[in-house]
Amino acid sequence: MSGIRSVARGIGSYLPERVVTNAELSERIDTSDEWIVQRTGIRQRHVAAEGECTSDLALVAARRALTDAGFKASDIDLIVLATATPDQTFPATAVTVQAELGITRGAAFDVQAVCSGFVFALATADALLKTGAFERALVIGAETFSRILDWEDRGTCVLFGDGAGAMVIEAVQEDDARGAGVLTTHLRSDGRHRNKLYVDGGPSSTGTVGHLRMEGREVFKHAVGMITDVITDAFAATGETAESIDWFVPHQANRRIIDASAQKLGIAPEKVVTTVDLHGNTSAASIPLALDVAWRDGRIRRGQLVLLEAMGGGFTWGSALLRW
């Protein structure tokens, strides 16, 4: 009996209009373009307008992904939305997107794995499609990190940006998939590291939203090892290698983490898709945003092998390997 493959049908993204450059930040806080570029590779980030919510960003990205897939909203019966910056504590931001799209069937819910959110959401949607219970999913990463930043803390506020990306995946019988689809996913977390990157507020603790806090060096220290571990797992599960993959689309946290991970794995620099210079770290949105850029500029083509990875607060980390 043939199994089910979750095949990527379309991708879309959205970035808020307002761009904040390093130069603008250096007028507000004690930092410089040189320091930020040298340590992170970030040159600018997008910031949501007043009143522009995570669901607003997600909705535009979702509509663009549906158009790219050639699907109507009513074709979708599952929405898995990754965010650490929901519109409200509840309901899930996913149900707002569902309602705005006019979808009244199936299920919609949020996934919270911070910067690893998109990989966790994709793995969740893939697993649900494989049960046969759902046919077509919107997998979304959407964030308004600008709302949880301490704009006085130069160690964190220079790193993050707002944005959203969405992917449409469809359940296809393996015999009809021509090798395409999600081939493997690997998810990990280790809560012993939860105090290294966190938000100092929440509904059941302080009753406030809180601000992002981070021990940057500690995150950096663990990132490359965790990323390379889950990618090694993806290669072991599929028999693919650093040579056989066509594109490496990592979570866009920091240029140095991306370069060091690719180098450790032996992935050629020309296969690495990097958008951190223009987007900053958009947490759960960064992978679908980068995928959309590389899909639209013609780098990613049908039939190619695309490797995704992310690492973030928790710590959480994960990889996904798919044939486009």
**Binding-site ranges for ligand ACO (CB under 6 A):** 31, 35-36, 39-40, 115, 154-155, 158-159, 197, 214, 216-217, 219-220, 223, 251, 253-254, 281, 311-312
Is 157 tagged catalytic?
no
CB of 251 to ligand ACO, least distance (A): 6
Catalytic residue among 46, 186, 193, 251: 251
Is the CB of 40 or the CB of 146 nearer to ligand ACO?
A: 40
- Is the sign of the CA dihedral 203, 206, 212, 214 positive or negative? negative
Amino acid letter, residue 3:
G
d(CA 275, CA 289): 8
Catalytic residue among 22, 115, 211, 279: 115
Is the CB of 174 or the CB of 215 nearer to ligand ACO?
A: 215
d(CA 270, CA 260): 14
CB of 257 to ligand ACO, least distance (A): 6
Indicate the SS3 state at residue 135.
coil
Is the CB of 66 or the CB of 311 nearer to ligand ACO?
A: 311
Q: Distances in Å between the alpha carbon of 259 and those of 78, 255, 262?
A: 35, 6, 5
Catalytic residue among 193, 211, 254, 281: 281
d(CA 121, CA 82): 6
CB of 194 to ligand ACO, least distance (A): 13
Is 53 tagged catalytic?
no
Is 254 tagged catalytic?
no
- Residue 152: φ, ψ to 5°: -95, -15
Indicate the SS3 state at residue 108.
strand
Is the CB of 26 or the CB of 238 nearer to ligand ACO?
A: 26
Would you name the residues annotated as active-site residues? 115, 251, 281
